[in-house]
Amino acid sequence: MKDRLSDTMESVKSTLSPLAPLVKRRWFKGLVMAFILFGAFWGLPAIARAADPTGTDTFNANPNSAVNMAWTLITGFLVWFMQLGFAFLGAGLIRSKNQTNYWTKSFMDFCIASLGFWAFGFALMFGGSKLFPGLDDGNAWIGFSGFFLSGGAYDVSTIMMWFFQMVFAATATTIVAGAVAERMKISAYLAYAFIIGALIYPLYGKWIWGGGWLGSLSIAGAAGARDFAGSSVVHMVGGLAALIGAAMVGPRIGRFNKDGTPNNIKGHNLPFVVIGTFILFFGWFGFNPGSTLAATDLRISVIAVNTFLAGVTGAVVALYWVFAKTGKMDIIMGCNGSLVGLVAVTAPAAYIAPWAAVLIGAIAVPFMFATNHVVERVLKVDDAVGAVPVHLGGGMWGMLAVGIFADGTYLGVKGLIAGEIGQLILQLVAIGTVFVWVGVTAFLTFWAIRKSIGLRASREEELQGLDIPEHGIEAYPADSSITLGGSTPVVPKALPVTR
């Protein structure tokens, strides 16, 4: 027994040993120090400065806050679940030799982006908005309160808001994974994930949603660009970052011929593609209706139905469009059609009637095809899963659609059909803003990563697939055989780990 105990102590000691080299590294020390400093200023005195951390006062002031809180959290859970949808969709569209790599990116990116959004992003985005307690400091361009959810931000409403916004930031982040799949290094991708969550996403978000200049810009009677649930904030930002990332990392080996004509690289699992689309569709029921942050706003039923109708119409139009052209029922196009319909209806979902949602979903399909054509044939960029046509193309159309189809019943937003032109102009300004801001910052981000840790796996790794070189784990071992070395990552040095 005593032997076993000393064995155990030895084990624990050796378990902790990897920390030793880590804490010796300078960058690591710096990072930890920065976090501690932030913690000291914002984290530790949190309790004393907390606004309403139990919610008793909030509930007493407004008993309806209970149903609104439940609604916002549950729809937020659904939005988060879209992460799994993106993972399935992209994984199905790429080859089996890069599955471990892709699933790692899909799981870890929201982990890392959300920590960036917790530490910095949320404060940059909503500081100064005064929407909830602890968000007092900031201006029309940038916020600076709410870091680490501490101090006055330790409040049930502020924290609810953080959760709902965080799942949106995570969605924007993961859109990029598919476009750069099969050749971007995992470490490079995870570094990007932190920066988009901490910086790129939050600042555009600030301008239109966080009390910033874009949301209050007034033109021809229209009071601010409007993006109800994120056609621009989430999908254009993610889609444009995807385009830039894919362009900078370069096309996969074999994707383009010498004369610039493209080849098609088949995915490994068609069911995954449809499963992913199903889960994304499911999550969209949280994405759009949840964006009221309130169930007392009964418009949520209209929003849910508009979302649904645009999605199914997109699918039907895309499927039969390709069928008319090729005679084949291409379900990959059907899935992409439903997704681009959903992306497009995201900005206008609350401002329109159901018949307009059907139109918006239908028109989104040629937007997707045209964007795809530009990306693949004009720009000659390798977007491995078609993320850019769906998210950037659909997102642009969605922003425009607000300026066209908003019928004036909800919050006074009026498009062309309600006789107003101002909103459409504001929407164009918002589109331009995304292109400038994300164009510049995403370029700088990927450029800096290329210069430091490098963007792209080696040619050998790419040909072999990234799973073994980067992760040491085969996704589908032909034979689930037994290898030497146990599952503990901290095995005694004498034993080779062959996994």
Chain residues 244-283 in contact with its own copies, contact rule CB under 8 A: 254-255, 261-272, 274-275, 277-279, 282
Q: Which residues, numbered 71-100, are part of the site for its own copies (CB under 8 A)?
A: 71, 73-74, 76-78, 80-81, 83-84, 87-88, 91, 94-97, 99-100
Asked whether position 243 contacts its own copies by CB under 8 A, the answer is no
Asked whether position 141 contacts its own copies by CB under 8 A, the answer is no
Q: Could you tell me where the DSSP H helices lie in 127-155?
A: none
Binding part of the chain for its own copies, among 44-52, 173-181, 391-399, 419-427 by CB under 8 A, reads 44-52
* Identity at 272, one-letter amino acid code: F
> Taking the complex as a whole, how short is the minimal distance between the CB of residue 141 and its own copies, in angstroms?
26
Q: Which residues, numbered 291-320, are part of the site for its own copies (CB under 8 A)?
A: 294-302, 304-305, 308-309, 311-313, 315-316, 319
Spatial separation of the C-alpha atoms in residues 17 and 37, rounded to whole Å? 26
Q: Identify which of residues 412 and 432 has a Cβ nearer to its own copies in the complex.
A: 412
> Taking the complex as a whole, how short is the minimal distance between the CB of residue 137 and its own copies, in angstroms?
19
> Taking the complex as a whole, how short is the minimal distance between the CB of residue 256 and its own copies, in angstroms?
9
> Taking the complex as a whole, how short is the minimal distance between the CB of residue 397 and its own copies, in angstroms?
13
Asked whether position 439 contacts its own copies by CB under 8 A, the answer is no
Distance of CA 72 to the CA centre of its chain: 18
Q: Identify which of residues 218 and 488 has a Cβ nearer to its own copies in the complex.
A: 488
Spatial separation of the C-alpha atoms in residues 123 and 51, rounded to whole Å? 16
Q: Identify which of residues 451 and 487 has a Cβ nearer to its own copies in the complex.
A: 487
Q: Distance from first CA to last CA of the chain, Å, rounded?
A: 31
Q: Identify which of residues 372 and 445 has a Cβ nearer to its own copies in the complex.
A: 372
Q: Identify which of residues 278 and 443 has a Cβ nearer to its own copies in the complex.
A: 278
Q: Which residues, numbered 362-381, are part of the site for its own copies (CB under 8 A)?
A: 366, 369-370, 372-374, 376-378
* Identity at 377, one-letter amino acid code: R
Whether the CB-CB separation of 417 and 429 falls below 8 Å is answered with no
Whether the CB-CB separation of 307 and 285 falls below 8 Å is answered with yes
Listed in sequence order, the residues at least 6 apart from 76 whose beta carbon sits closer than 8 Å to its beta carbon are 163, 164, 167, 286, 290
> Taking the complex as a whole, how short is the minimal distance between the CB of residue 98 and its own copies, in angstroms?
10
Q: What angle do CA 142, 147, 151 make, to 5 degrees?
A: 125
Applying CB under 8 A, which of residues 330, 439, 461, 464 lies at the interface with its own copies?
Answer: 330
> Taking the complex as a whole, how short is the minimal distance between the CB of residue 384 and its own copies, in angstroms?
10
For 290, the token pair is: 């949840």
> Taking the complex as a whole, how short is the minimal distance between the CB of residue 225 and its own copies, in angstroms?
21
> Taking the complex as a whole, how short is the minimal distance between the CB of residue 213 and its own copies, in angstroms?
28
Asked whether position 450 contacts its own copies by CB under 8 A, the answer is no
148: left (phi over 0), alpha (psi -120 to 50) or beta: left
**How would you class 478 by CB atoms within 10 Å of its CB: exposed for 0-12, middle for 13-18, buried for 19 or more?**
exposed
Site size toward its own copies (CB under 8 A) is 172
> Taking the complex as a whole, how short is the minimal distance between the CB of residue 417 and its own copies, in angstroms?
9
* Identity at 488, one-letter amino acid code: T
Spatial separation of the C-alpha atoms in residues 197 and 125, rounded to whole Å? 11
For 178, the token pair is: 């598919």
Applying CB under 8 A, which of residues 120, 123, 134, 157 lies at the interface with its own copies?
Answer: 157
The phi and psi torsions of 224 (rounded to 5 degrees) equal: 105, 140
Q: Which residues, numbered 221-240, are part of the site for its own copies (CB under 8 A)?
A: none
Q: Which residues, numbered 466-495, are part of the site for its own copies (CB under 8 A)?
A: 470-477, 480-490, 495
Asked whether position 444 contacts its own copies by CB under 8 A, the answer is no
Asked whether position 50 contacts its own copies by CB under 8 A, the answer is yes
CB atoms under 10 Å from CB of 389, counted, come to: 25
> Taking the complex as a whole, how short is the minimal distance between the CB of residue 308 and its own copies, in angstroms?
7
Whose CA is closest to 282, among 339, 236, 237, 344? Answer: 339
Distances, alpha carbon 21 to alpha carbons 10, 24, 25, 494, in Å = 18, 5, 7, 19
336: left (phi over 0), alpha (psi -120 to 50) or beta: alpha
Q: Which residues, numbered 390-409, are part of the site for its own copies (CB under 8 A)?
A: 407-409
Q: Which residues, numbered 100-139, are part of the site for its own copies (CB under 8 A)?
A: 100, 103-104, 106-108, 110-112, 114-115, 118
